[in-house]
Amino acid sequence: MDTPVPSQAPGTAGSLWVAALELVHSAVTQASPWELAGFVTGLACVWLVVVRHIWNFPIGIASCACFIVLFCQQRLFGEAALQLVFIVMNFHGWILWSVRPRENDDAKGIGHVETTEAVVLSIGMVPLTGALWGLLTLLDGSAPLLDAVITALSLVAQWLLNRKRIESWPVWIVVDVLTITLGAWRGLYLLSALYLSYLAMCVAGWLQWRAGVDKRGGENDA
């Protein structure tokens, strides 16, 4: 009898790549057109935020419109309502960034959240989450508590982003982790993959914005 040949490391790595590609292919083929459209526009939106390009707002509005349909189909009413609010806040951010367009090309407009604003936002999170939880429970949402937490955190993150506060990034990271969990639980694997990509880009954005502020501080000290 022939002795079995142990698997080699390159073959194992190749198998992992094949498995990953098959998972992505399966997610794409099973996804709805709205989920696919939201996936593509969502990736483009976050990348444009990282590089501080004002076109992140209109692309973000298009992505929100796609996810409104998707979340309504999944009875995730909090997430669907959140997209409507995001559309309004994207217009708000679009206007703010348009006022001083030159600041979008460097770190001049980026800063840290003030203590008073941080306290107000933190305290406001509690009643906002509670109200959303109650409302989503009445609407028979599929995940009312988690949906409410994600919605409240997302509103805070978008507010901070519109004001170019670095602290928007760690809040977005928490939102991404929770949404990845929610998407996997609901079988929305492409949505989870999208937010996994968001997570990586949020970390990159956080580091890039911090580096820009540090560089600006060094230039001011020189």
Q: Which pLDDT score is estimated for 29?
A: 64
> Quick one: pLDDT band at residue 14, thresholds 50, 70, 90?
low
Cα 218 from Cα 214, distance rounded (Å): 6
Determine contact, residues 193/24, Cβ cutoff 8 Å: yes
Q: How far apart are the first and last CA of the chain?
A: 76
Instruction: Indicate if the alpha-carbon torsion angle 68, 71, 75, 76 is positive or negative.
Output: negative
Higher pLDDT, 95 or 52: 95
Q: Is the pLDDT of residue 106 over 80?
A: no
What's the mean pLDDT when you consider all of the chain? 78
pLDDT, one tens digit per residue, over 118-169 is 999 999 999 999 998 998 888 777 788 888 898 899 889 988 988 889 999 9
CA distances from 201 to 44, 111, 172, 194, 208 (A): 11, 19, 10, 11, 10
Predicted structure pTM score: 0.66
Greatest CA separation found in the chain?
78
Q: Which residues contact 119 (CB under 8 A, 6 or more apart)?
A: none
Would you state the structure tokens that stand for residue 18, as one six-digit string? 């094949």
Higher pLDDT, 10 or 163: 163
114 φ, ψ to 5°?
A: -75, 155
Residues in the chain: 222
Q: Which pLDDT score is estimated for 111?
A: 83
Cα 41 from Cα 61, distance rounded (Å): 9
Higher pLDDT, 101 or 110: 110
Higher pLDDT, 106 or 134: 134
pLDDT mean over 102-109:
54
Domain ranges of the chain: 31-105+115-221
pLDDT, one tens digit per residue, over 20-78 is 455 455 555 666 788 888 888 988 888 888 787 889 999 999 999 998 988 888 777 76
CA distances from 86 to 25, 83, 92, 189 (A): 30, 5, 9, 22
